[in-house]
A and B are shown apart, each in its own frame.
Chain A
Amino acid sequence: MAGPSLKLNTADFQLLLGGYYLLEDGSGRYLLEDSSGAYLLDAYVPQVGDPVVFTQPTWSGRVVSVNRRDIMTARTNYDEVSITATNTAVAGSGSGALLSDGGSYYLLEDSSGRYQLEDASGLYLLDAAAYRNLAVRVSQNQDGSTTTYGSLETYTAGYAAGQTFLLVSSNLNLSSSYTITNVTTDFEGANPPTPYYTIEFGDAYQTLQQAGGGILTRQASAPTQALGVVMPGGVLGYAEVTADQGTFTALTDITGLTVTVTVASGRRIRISAKVACSSSVAGDSADLQILEGATMLENAEAVVQTTAITLVSIAVEVILTPTASIHTYKVSMRRVAGTGNLTMRAVTGGFSGPAWLLVEDIGT
């Protein structure tokens, strides 16, 4: 790395920490009183999380990576520290100065020729910034669309991600406007270091899936992923109980069957539950409900037998598009007909199996 490298959201740079105090006249090192050694410079070693501020160019962020390297085999008492810092700055807008390879001229409106100086001594030249190492790649994707990605280097400051600029290249026969996707500031030389800017422009750099035309799929048990197709978010919450509860007749919350979930904006969820029960009197009817607070969202009823005969499992589910927020769902049960007392059955090893409540994100 030859000096700091600054981009819109990252800054990579190295520090060479350490060294010795020198005598004022530069004739040697400042020695300890007993001459057993020299005074060492004690520099601060940046820590992860430290704020970082650059000037010329302006950049600020926080340290996210610190890599210390012992370079004792090359120089004693020095510590090479490589640092990466990031920020969350967003690309702006506006226009950047014209970039030209210098071989272009103003043309007459009817394109019949070049625009000459009044005394015919020469031609009007485009007033533009110079660049080098221009490369423009146009590629066609599997879905038929084309993507343009280009880069160049310039010594002219003032370009920033989000700007549009006119690029003129007589060598490549280009005269088009592009949007800058990133500007990397690097330095060359050391006395003083001179910044140069690598400008990336055109379409955003493609992801692997985009390059594949959006038809790349994830294999095995995971669902197929396709560009533009909303995927389910999966399980948001699940609760299970393995102990019986009751007896009861009035509406009673099933202990442990409560789930609190965070639902994102515009998402559709499915809430499902399964609870088994029996009654002290065969032929009673039980009602299983899914509720949010005191609001019943869905219910299902079934005729219940006694434990001696058989258990009845009741399943209920509901599809919702709730508000983007935290929601708490629960399961309750009651007797709606008959004279017996209900018992919720979920004992491990029994005939019913566990009772459960499941909340899933199923898409939009």
Chain B
Amino acid sequence: MFRRIAAIVLVVILAAIAWTWRMAPLTVSIGSGPIALVQSGAVVRSFAVGEASSAIQATLPVASTAGTTLIAIWGNPNGGTPTVSASPAGWTRLVAVPQSTTTDFEIWAYYNNPGGISLATFTGAGLVGFNSWRGAMSEWANVASVTTLETSGTATATSGFTLTPTTTGNVVSTGDLAISAWIQACAGGTVTDTSPAGWTRLIDNSTEATSSHMAAEYLPSPPVGSTLGPTLTSSVASTSAAGATIVLRAVSPTTDMTAYLKY
């Protein structure tokens, strides 16, 4: 008897669950959570001897997820008026900072990427005898894919241990993402990079014994209402340096729009 009652109760509960699920109304939400770092790849060196123009590469540890934003950072401090001369489809140049004809530093973005990207191959032009580039790629979730760059700023130097790329405009929106990065030509060897207060290291090649050092920092939700100018610091003096700070807008926070649906 008890089993029969239990079975009937169970059937009634399952039927209720099924009915509730079937009758659950359509909902729609627009927007998503705050900007978040998904992953970042190490600094990659691309080097070509005797080539004025060659393939330069940046990598991610894991293939990207569709819809996220990819950021590629490129730098060449070796002379020959270096520049990133070509990119794969989908990439947008956010900033390019030449320090005379010696150094070039650039930041590129791929908004709303289609997914499956773990290698980005650009073309870099530079000194025929020493066309050497450093590149790094990172992946970010919940970055706006339209009118993304809110403000940016650049800086160059030919001496000193620091660089302070300051944005030309104020940070306007809450929940933005700020990235500040640079490349310096310096005496060969390893260096020690120091992050600005409150910022987090994204990538660096400080342990690589080289005369080309790249480092990048990031700051989620930078303060609004003022410009942003973090001071990037290396333990070794620059002979040429170039860097930039970019501020990217976030997508809107998740908003339930079900009540506004028109039938």
CA distance A13 to B27 in the complex (A): 12
Quick one: given A50-B31, A51-B251, A53-B29, are A192 and B257 in contact (CB under 8 Å)?
A: no
CA distance A46 to B251 in the complex (A): 10
B30 at the interface (CB under 8 A from A): yes
Does A309 touch B at the CB level, under 8 Å? Answer: no
Residues B260 and A16 in contact, CB atoms below 8 Å apart = yes
Tell whether, in the assembled complex, residue A328 and residue B51 are in contact, meaning their CB atoms are under 8 Å apart.
yes
Q: For window 131-152 of chain B, which residues contact chain A by CB distance below 8 Å?
A: 142, 144-146
Per the 8 Å Cβ criterion, residues 37-68 of A in contact with B are 43-44, 46-57, 62-63
- Closest-CB distance, A108 to chain B (whole angstroms): 34
Q: How far is the CA of A328 from the CA of B32 in the complex (A)?
A: 43
B55 near A326 (CB under 8 angstroms)? yes
Q: Give the interface SS of chain B, mostly helix, strand, loop or mixed.
A: loop
| B221 lies within 8 A of chain A by Cβ | no
Is the CB of A138 closer than 8 A to any CB of chain B?
no
Q: A88-B66, A190-B263, A294-B50 are in contact. Are A50 and B26 (CB under 8 A)?
A: no
Q: Does A325 lie at the interface of the complex (its beta carbon under 8 Å from any beta carbon of B)?
A: yes
Within A288-306, the residues touching B (CB, 8 Å) are 293-294
> Digit string of A177-190 for contact with B (CB within 8 Å is 1, else 0)?
00000000001011
Given contacts A49-B111, A325-B121, contact A15 B25 (CB under 8 A): no
Restricting to B40-72, which residues have a CB under 8 Å from any CB of A?
A: 48, 50-55, 66-67
In contact, A56 and B53 (Cβ under 8 angstroms): no
Of all chain B residues, the one with the shortest Cβ separation from A52 is: B30
Tell me the residues in window 1-44 of chain B with beta carbons closer than 8 Å to chain A beta carbons: 23-32
Q: Is B123 an interface residue (CB 8 A)?
A: yes
Instruction: Say yes or no: A63-B27 contact (C-beta < 8 A), given A187-B263, A328-B54.
Output: no
Minimal beta-carbon separation of A72 from chain B (angstroms): 16
CA distance A187 to B262 in the complex (A): 11
Among B26, B53, B146, B257, contact of A49 (Cβ-Cβ < 8 Å): B146
Q: Does A3 contact B (CB under 8 A)?
A: yes
Among B86, B142, B263, the one with the most A-chain Cβ atoms within 10 Å of its Cβ is B263
A54 and B27 alpha carbons, distance in the complex (Å): 6
Determine if A46 and B257 form an interchain contact, defined as CB atoms under 8 angstroms apart: yes
- Name the one of A14, A44, A62, A325 contacting B112, with C-beta atoms under 8 angstroms: A62
Beta-carbon nearest neighbor of A82 in chain B = B262
A62 near B145: Cβ-Cβ < 8 Å: yes
For A14, what are the chain B residues with a Cβ–Cβ distance below 8 Å? Answer: 261-262
A116 at interface (Cβ–Cβ under 8 A)? no
Q: Within residues 11 to 37 of chain A, which ones have a CB less than 8 A from any CB in chain B?
A: 13-17
In the assembled complex, B85 has its CB within 8 A of some CB on chain A: yes
User: Which among B144, B251, B260 is the interface contact of A43 at CB below 8 angstroms?
Assistant: B260
- Minimum Cβ distance to chain B for residue A188 (Å): 8
Chain B positions 242 through 263: 1 when the CB is less than 8 Å from some CB of chain A, otherwise 0: 0000000001100101001111
10 shortest interchain CB distances as A-B pairs: A49-B145, A14-B262, A49-B146, A3-B263, A15-B260, A190-B263, A326-B55, A16-B262, A51-B32, A48-B146
**9 contacts across the A-B interface (CB closer than 8 A):** A3-B263, A44-B30, A48-B145, A50-B30, A50-B252, A62-B145, A80-B262, A260-B53, A260-B123
Q: Which residues of B are interface residues toward A (Cβ below 8 A)?
A: 23-32, 48, 50-55, 66-67, 85-86, 88, 111-112, 114-115, 121, 123, 142, 144-146, 251-252, 255, 257, 260-263
